[in-house]
Structures are given as structure tokens and as C-alpha cells.
Structure 1
Amino acid sequence: MSQIDRIDGGVNTARVSAAEADRIYREQRQADALRFLRKRGLDDVAEILGLVEPATPAPQVRDRIGSGKTRRGAA
């Protein structure tokens, strides 16, 4: 049973906006893809596709405060 049917208890009479229906459909597809990849032991592929959070966070580049560099045109 799809999530749209579950909204109103199994009878597909609920009025769902197109954006909401698209979001529900996308979530179902992602869940199906994740289940497929995990069943085959391809967790690394699921991470690459963004279906799961990465095991190690990506490093963030930070600007140094007071590095002595000035931008042209800045007063």
C-alpha cells in the first residue's frame, strides 16, 4: 500500500497537492533503492548516491580571521 493510501486509512480519497504527492513518491523510490542496495551489500554506493549519511563528515574549508588579505575596493 502506498503512502498516499495510508494518509486516509487505505481509501485513496485524500486530496494531496502535486508537490506533496511528488515528495511522497520520491521518498518511496529512495527507500526502495536503499533497500535494494543494502540487500546486495552495496552500502558504499548508497552513501555515494546520498541515500545515507556519510560515515565520516566531509572536511569544511574555513577562512582565517585576520589573515592580512584585503579585498580590492573595500574601505
Structure 2
Amino acid sequence: MDANMPGKDGLTAAREIRALDRPDAAAVPILAMTASIFQEDRDRAAACGMSGFLPKPFDVVQLYQLPRDSLGKAARTRETQK
């Protein structure tokens, strides 16, 4: 999700998704994609509930690895919630 989308930015959207009253809201991977590369941007994304951070321009290997890692974390979260 682009952290700087027009209308509703990705940080707001992530907070709203995490607040949903559904069992998968806490575990669904939400990945931040942004041209901002500062640590405070990473920290803000994490604080809003994003499960990963991909700075632009991104490395293709990182583009494929981050979703894989996030899906693994989501699966472990679902298992611990049972």
C-alpha cells in the first residue's frame, strides 16, 4: 500500500484495517511502499499496523521477499490466535 495515497493515505487505511471487527484484521499483511526512506517513516508505518516496509525505488529481490516474509508472519499470528 502506498503510504502517500491521495484522499486517504496508506497509514490511515492500515489503521482502519487493523481496527476492523474481523478475525483476519490483525493478521492480514499490509506492506508500506513509499519513496520516503527515513527511519521515522518506517516507525510510523509500523505504528499504524503495517507489517513491512518497501522503499522506492525497490530492489526486485526485496519486492518478492517482503510479501513472503509477511505471509509467514501472518500464518504464525493466526495459529497463535486459535
Into which bin does the TM-score normalised by the smaller protein fall?
Answer: 0.3 to 0.5
More strand by share: 2
Q: TM-score, normalised by structure 1?
A: 0.39
In terms of Rg, which structure is larger? Answer: 1
More helix by share: 2
Higher relative contact order (CA 8 A, sep 6+): 2
